[in-house]
C-alpha cells in the first residue's frame, strides 16, 4: 500500500482556535483538518497553538518568541488565525461603563498593527518555500440585536481586507453568522463562544474559502 503524503496545518489564535465552548473541545480546527484530508487525500497533521484569552498582541508575541511554533509554520501548507475578539471585549469595557470610545478606537489601531506584525513575520518565515495559504477569520457578532455591537464589530473587521495578498485570505465568518436569524443557537452558555453548531459554521465558511483559493491556484 502506498504511503500517504504528509502535509501540515498550523492554527494560531485565541479561544476560538482552542475550541472553547464545543462539547468535544475540538472546535473548528480538527473539523477543518479532517476536511483537508478528505479533499487532498493526504495525511494532514494539525498543530494547534491557540491560547484562551489571547489578544492580538499576545498571539503575535507567542509566535515571535516560540521556536517550536516557527518550525511548524515553516512546514505548514495551511495556516489559520483567529484574533481580535479579546481586543474588542477588553476595549468595550470602558465604553459600556461610561460611554467613551477612545479605548475602542485605540484597540482597532493596535489590532491592525499586531496582525501586520504577525503576518510579516510569517511571510518572512515562509520566504522561498512552497506555496501556502494563510486564512484570517473575521470576528462574528454575538449580540447582533445591539446596534453598537454591529458598528464596532464591523470596524474591527474592516482592516482585514487591507491585509489580503496572494498568500493571505479573509474568511467571512462574520457574514456567515450574520445570515442566521437565531444566533443564540450558535453560541454556548456564555453567549460569547460558539457551540458545536457555531464551530461547524466557522469550519464551513473556512472550507468554502479554502476551496475558492484552491481553485485559483
Residues known to be catalytic: 15, 190, 193
**Residue 73 is placed in which grid cell?**
509554520
CA angle (18, 71, 134) in 5-degree steps = 60
CA distance 56 to 89: 12
**Residue 193 is placed in which grid cell?**
463562544
Amino acid at each position: 500500500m502506498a504511503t500517504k503524503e504528509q502535509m501540515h496545518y498550523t492554527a494560531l489564535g485565541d479561544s476560538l482556535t482552542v475550541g472553547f465552548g464545543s462539547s468535544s473541545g475540538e472546535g473548528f480546527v480538527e473539523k477543518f483538518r479532517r476536511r483537508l484530508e478528505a479533499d487532498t487525500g493526504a495525511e494532514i497533521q494539525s498543530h494547534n497553538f491557540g491560547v484562551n484569552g489571547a489578544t492580538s498582541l499576545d498571539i503575535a508575541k507567542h509566535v515571535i518568541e516560540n521556536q517550536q511554533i516557527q518550525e511548524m509554520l515553516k512546514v505548514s501548507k495551511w495556516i489559520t488565525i483567529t484574533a481580535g475578539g479579546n481586543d474588542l471585549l477588553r476595549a468595550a469595557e470602558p465604553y459600556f461603563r461610561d460611554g467613551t470610545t477612545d479605548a475602542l478606537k485605540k484597540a482597532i489601531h493596535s489590532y491592525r498593527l499586531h496582525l501586520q506584525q504577525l503576518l510579516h513575520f510569517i511571510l518572512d518565515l515562509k520566504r522561498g518555500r512552497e506555496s501556502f495559504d494563510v486564512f484570517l477569520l473575521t470576528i462574528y457578532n454575538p449580540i447582533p440585536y445591539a446596534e453598537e455591537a454591529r458598528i464596532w464589530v464591523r470596524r474591527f473587521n474592516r482592516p482585514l481586507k487591507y491585509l489580503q495578498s496572494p498568500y493571505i485570505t479573509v474568511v467571512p465568518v462574520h457574514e456567515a453568522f450574520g445570515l442566521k436569524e437565531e444566533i443564540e443557537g450558535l453560541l454556548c452558555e456564555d453567549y460569547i463562544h460558539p457551540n458545536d453548531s457555531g464551530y461547524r459554521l466557522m469550519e464551513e465558511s473556512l472550507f468554502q474559502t479554502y476551496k475558492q483559493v484552491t481553485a485559483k491556484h
